Amino acid sequence: MPRADVVVIGAGLSGLSCAAELAAGGARVFLAAKGYASTHWTHGGTDVAAPAGARTPREGVATLAAIDGHPYGWLDGALDAAIAAHRVRLDTAGIGLVGTLDDPLVPIPTAIGTLRPAAILPAAQAAALEPWGDDGLLLVGFGRYRDAWASYAARNLRASAWEAGPGEIRALEVDLPDLAELHNLNARSLALRFDDPAWRTRALATISARIPPGAWRVGLPAVLGSAAHLAVLEQARSTLGHEVIELPSLPPSVSGLRLATALERQIMGSGGRVQVGFDVVEVERDRRRIVAIHTEAASRTLRLAADTFVLATGGIGGAGIRAHPDGTLEERVFGLPVEAPPRDGWFSDDPLVPHPLEAAGIRVDDLHRPIGQDRMPLLDNVRVIGSALAGMRYLAERCGDGVALASAHHVASSLARSAVAA
């Protein structure tokens, strides 16, 4: 395998974004991942920061930056450029990105009828950010799609305290054409159907015919097309005659799938290589430098030598960090020390509240090199980004995407700078 400038390990939001930025800048990039992960599981929005009390993402970032050891403590400066770069990539892909760090965090409806705070969303979800005025929210479920619960969601939203929310909330269950006898439809199978112009014309007409009179924004399952998303979205708006809002639900997340596919294409389009499906099984090390990693292969291994290795393997959720029965936590590629609470303090009693273990991760210096107890770098040419980082609670703080993007950009731009300097 020809030597790369940078090997990025991991195909989540941080790894893909970092590789895309590096490749676009002309670096020879090889992205090696064990599999796909977080992008396919999440809502596809851009959660930057939404701790309690924050009115905008920027305020949220400031709050989090004040927490000792939080990555925003040093990444807040990288955020503007990171979001801007992300916006360019998403615009190019026809996904779009609406909202800025200074826009208000507003409650947006979820598939189950709760409200979550958001300010920066892909185009398909962005209509939820606009002030509701007199508009009503019409939630549409598809008869055969298990993961849209329009009526339940509408009842929950009506029971919730939604300040300055829609004037009216209604639900509609629509049976789309040709689906009656099919098996276990999921978000991807529906999105592929929406990619088909003939079917989606009929489907959208079926929905349109059921929409009651009034000024609505129509909440639809987040299945509005995969490859043809932009066309589907536009056709949905024009056929229904209302703004539409995609409501992401259970995995597979089509919103996230679009994002991952777009970023992967951009990496490859810039001459980068992507190999998904093979775990790192061996590391060649020369004192504090990684010389090469080896990924598993059908026989032997694939040796990937590079100047820099970006660790973007995720935390416990992405299995970059693995917990053992004895309560130890292992960083799976380089065996880096993992900062974590003691085993008996990992969890809260309620599964729906934050667990102390969520803050577990790898400590880094301001270049994102992993550090030890003495705060000195353990490896000089390794950079850790994304949710492998210690000190953040991506669910409780709703900061996972922001930290992923900011750390990816911070590392990509500093590597580009040092390459120019060299």
Partner 1 sequence: MTFHDAAAREFPPFSTDACIKCNVCTTVCPVARVTDDFPGPKYVGPQAQRFRGPSSLELVPDRTVDLCSGCGICTRACPAGVLIAETNNRARAAIVEQRGSSIRNRLISDTDLLIRLGSNPLAPFANFGLRNRLLRWMGERVLGIHRRGPLAPFATRTFRRWWRAERRPTAVADVLDPTRTVVYFHGCAVNGFEPDLGRDAVSILERNGYTVIVPQQECCGLPFVSNGLYDTARRKAGRNLASLAAFARAGVKIVGTSTSCTHAIKAEYREMLDLDDEDARAVADATWDICELLVDLHDRGELDTGFAPVSEPLPYHPPCQLKSHGIGTPAMDLFALVPGLRAVDQQHDCCGAAGTYGLKKERWQIAQDVGAPLFAKVRAAADAGASRAACDSETCRWQIEQSSGVPTVHPITILAESYRRADADRGRSWRRVV
Partner 2 sequence: MTMPAEVDVVVIGGGATGAGVLRDLAMRGLTATLVERGDFASGTSGRYHGLLHSGARYVESDPLSARHCIEENAVLRRIAPGTIEATGGFFVATPDDPDDYLERFPAACATAGIEAEPIPLDELFRAEPLLNRRIRAAFRVPDASLEPWELVDATLASAREHGATAYRYRPVVGIDRAADGSVQAVRTRDARTGEEATIACRAVVSASGAWAGQVAALAGATLHMSPGKGSMLILNRRLTSAVVNRLAPPGDGDILVPVHTVCILGTTDITVENPDDARVTADEVTALLADGERLVPGLSGARVLRAYAGSRPLYDAAEVGGEAHHDESREISRAHHVIDHGTRDGVGGLWSIVGGKLTTMRLMARDTVDAVARALGNEQPCRTGDEALPAPGGSRPYWLGDRLSAVESAGGGDADLVCECELVTRARLTHALDERSDSSLDDLRRTTRLGMGPCQGAFCIPRASAMLDARRADGRLEDAAPDANAALRAFAAERFRGTRPIAWGDQLTELWLSAGIFRGTLAADALPPSAGRDDAAR
The Cα–Cα gap between 93 and 122 comes to 11
For residues 186 and 208, which CB has a smaller minimum distance to partner 2 in the complex?
A: 186
Judged by beta carbon distances under 5 to 8 A according to partner kind, the member of partner 1, partner 2, none in contact with residue 144 is partner 2
Closest CA to 72 of 50, 42, 94: 50
Contact 194, 220 (CB under 8 A): no
Bond prior to 252 in cis (omega within 30° of 0): yes
The Cα–Cα gap between 211 and 244 comes to 12
Site string for partner 2, 332-371 (x = CB under 8 A): -----------x--xx--xxxx-x--x-------------
145 binds partner 1 (CB under 8 A): no
Judged by beta carbon distances under 5 to 8 A according to partner kind, the member of partner 2, partner 1, none in contact with residue 257 is partner 1
Nearest distance from C-beta of residue 5 to partner 2, angstroms = 31
159 binds partner 2 (CB under 8 A): yes
Q: Which residue has the tokens 């029965």?
A: 325
146 binds partner 2 (CB under 8 A): yes
Judged by beta carbon distances under 5 to 8 A according to partner kind, the member of partner 2, partner 1, none in contact with residue 156 is partner 2
For residues 78 and 169, which CB has a smaller minimum distance to partner 2 in the complex?
A: 169
Q: Residues near 384 by Cβ (< 8 Å), separated by ≥ 6? A: 310, 311, 312, 336, 362, 364, 368, 369, 370, 407
Q: By CB under 8 A, what part of segment 11-30 binds partner 1?
A: 30
The Cα–Cα gap between 295 and 253 comes to 28
For residues 126 and 190, which CB has a smaller minimum distance to partner 1 in the complex?
A: 190
The Cα–Cα gap between 298 and 29 comes to 23
Site string for partner 2, 194-233 (x = CB under 8 A): ----------------------------------------
**Of the listed pieces 78-86, 268-276, 316-324, 331-339, which binds partner 2 according to CB under 8 A?**
316-324
Three-state SS for 236? helix
DSSP bridge pairs for 108: 116
Q: Which residue of 41, 74, 152, 346 would you call a contact of partner 1, by CB under 8 A?
A: 41
Q: By CB under 8 A, what part of segment 4-63 binds partner 2?
A: 38, 41-43, 47
CA 166, 171, 173 angle in degrees (round to 5)?
A: 155
The Cα–Cα gap between 386 and 407 comes to 6
CA–CA distances in Å: residue 298 to residues 3, 103, 301, 333, 380: 21, 50, 8, 19, 31
Number of residues engaging partner 1 in binding (CB under 8 A): 38
183 binds partner 1 (CB under 8 A): yes
Residues that bind partner 2 (CB under 8 A): 38, 41-43, 47, 110-116, 143-144, 146-147, 149, 151-152, 154-160, 162, 165-169, 180-185, 248-251, 253, 315-317, 319, 322-325, 327, 343, 346-347, 350-353, 355, 358, 395-396, 398, 400
